[in-house]
Structure 1
Amino acid sequence: MWKRIQRSCIHMSAVCLKKTPLHLKGKSTADKRWLIRQLSDPFVKAAHEQNYRCRSAFKLIEMDDKYRLLKPGFTVIDCGAAPGAWSQVAVQRVNSTGESVDLPKGSVIGIDILHIFPLDGAQFLTNHDITSPSTHTALERLLPEAGADVILSDMAPNASGFRELDHERLVSMCLSMLDLADKVLRPGGSLICKYWDGGLAHMLQQRLFSAFQDVRTVKPRASRKESAELFFLARMLKKR
């Protein structure tokens, strides 16, 4: 897949050079930068071709291809799910539509404070704050008695323009994912959460190590090089 996307990048760069003047007429400088980046991004094209809701799907695909977190029959919670690209990947890999009749049927529950368009094979709690106890209650009603196998979080706060403040707010979100894992994740389960590097990253890592047997830092190739985003991948939740 990755070689195919790299070849697409060369093609997209050529297309970008040809189309840029038409697309950029009358645009602001910021809009021009964004549009050029989109036109030359092979993951944007691949997401369109493969019917993913956004390019971020390929971050999860790469991580799951390597670490095999999502298996048929698993229950997955997708936190900050909008627009639903990670949920799409999870639906496919845990067989929550039951399309593969010879494999166990899983389930996917997506949560976001924003609206998410419906997706076959997923249940969405829209307009729900994942850090709110009332959301946790609504979530637990949807979960099987055994709990969840995997918690995913690609969410981030709206940027304030102050790097350390944004870092602290995202770490706080990750800590809320750890609290959620303590409530609903079964022993042996896994957690993926996005963070931005900074002074509190080590503290967050240590908190994860206290709960999981294996914790590592991952930066998928689908993460833009200029992006500060990283992911903690925590596996094998310890028995409580």
Structure 2
Amino acid sequence: MNRGFSTFRTLQRKITSNTLKSKQKNASSNEWLSRQLSDPYVEKAKQMNYRCRSAFKLVEINNKYQFLKPGQVVIDVGAAPGSWSQVIANKINSNGQDQNAPKGIAVAIDKQQIYPIDGVTIFGNMDFTKPENQEKITHFLEGKRANAVVSDMAPSASGIRHLDNDIIIELCYNVLRFAVKVSEQNASILVKLWQCGETKQLENDIARFYKNVKLVKPDSSRSDSAEIFLLGMDFKGLKEN
């Protein structure tokens, strides 16, 4: 009798726990949907045919600092679904829309598949952090140097803040190491991270290679989000022995 009652209570707790998780998930989904519906950048992205609202973060940053220009070579890391690549293709004229301006080269890479974008060479289903995939990009460029390496890359949040911060910081360093190897002198780098204790160290490390480093929080980045961007400009170049 006691054993049966114990089994019943265990089952009851399991059902209650699953019900609470379901309610929390539904509440989170409803909150996300409500925020999407009230977000002016979501509607604006639809009107301008951008794949998601994050396009405006890059638009804002570039409008202020003007580091993307026609004719450049730009690499977009963690590019899916492709909204930053859409902006890049327009700014550097890799899509050839401006026949009076030099035509640039845009490259996008992501673990996920990216649907084709006019004027962008896509490396889909590829993990950027693997050296062999970085080598594929370098080989594709055939000796051309990058004028900018940009990254809106972020890990799937685990909910453990210090772990998530460590992962995104390591992703930023992956981008920095790659950019230093492939960039032209006076090039730029842009990485996304979450405000954390390692922010200043990353800023200092970028400053070792770039003359000007800016901490940026565009208006289109939601106010309740911890995301920030570090922009390094005027790459110093590497001294060759």
TM-score by length of 2: 0.87
Q: Which residue number in structure 2 is paired with residue 83 of structure 1? A: 81
* CA positional deviation for 1:86: 0.1
1:202 aligns with 2:200: yes
Rounded Cα–Cα distance in structure 2 between residues aligned with 1:31 and 1:160: 17
Rounded Cα–Cα distance in structure 2 between residues aligned with 1:231 and 1:209: 14
Matched residue type, 2:190: I
Rounded Cα–Cα distance in structure 1 between residues aligned with 2:205 and 2:35: 36
Q: Which residue number in structure 2 is paired with residue 44 of structure 1? A: 42
1:30 aligns with 2:28: yes
2:144 to 143, 146, 152: 146
Query: How many residues are treated as equivalent by the alignment?
Result: 214
Q: Which residue number in structure 1 is paired with residue 59 of structure 2? A: 61
- Secondary structure of the equivalent of 1:159? coil
2:218 to 212, 217, 220: 220
1:183 to 170, 181, 184: 181
In structure 2, stretches of 5+ residues that fail to align are 1-24
- Secondary structure of the equivalent of 2:208? helix
* Contact 2:78 2:152 (C-alpha < 8 Å) held by counterparts: yes
In structure 1, stretches of 5+ residues that fail to align are 1-26
Q: Which residue number in structure 1 is paired with residue 19 of structure 2? A: none
* CA positional deviation for 1:216: 1.0
* CA positional deviation for 1:239: 2.1
Q: Which residue number in structure 2 is paired with residue 160 of structure 1? A: 158
1:135 to 125, 133, 136: 133
TM-score by length of 1: 0.87
Q: Which residue number in structure 2 is paired with residue 173 of structure 1? A: 171
Matched residue type, 1:238: K
Q: Which residue number in structure 2 is paired with residue 110 of structure 1? A: 108
Rounded Cα–Cα distance in structure 2 between residues aligned with 1:120 and 1:199: 39
Rounded Cα–Cα distance in structure 2 between residues aligned with 1:98 and 1:28: 45
The one-character-per-residue Cα deviations of 1:85-125 (angstroms, maximum 9, x if unpaired) are 00000000100011211100001000000110011100110
Rounded Cα–Cα distance in structure 1 between residues aligned with 2:69 and 2:142: 16
- Following superposition, which runs of at least 4 residues in structure 1 exceed 6 angstroms of deviation? none
Rounded Cα–Cα distance in structure 2 between residues aligned with 1:107 and 1:83: 19
* Contact 2:180 2:237 (C-alpha < 8 Å) held by counterparts: no
- Secondary structure of the equivalent of 2:153? coil
Matched residue type, 1:187: Q
Q: Kindly name which structure, 1 or 2, has the bigger radius of gyration based on alpha carbons.
A: 2
Rounded Cα–Cα distance in structure 1 between residues aligned with 2:30 and 2:126: 34
Percent identity, please: 43
Change in 2 beyond 3 A, CA 1:150/1:144? farther
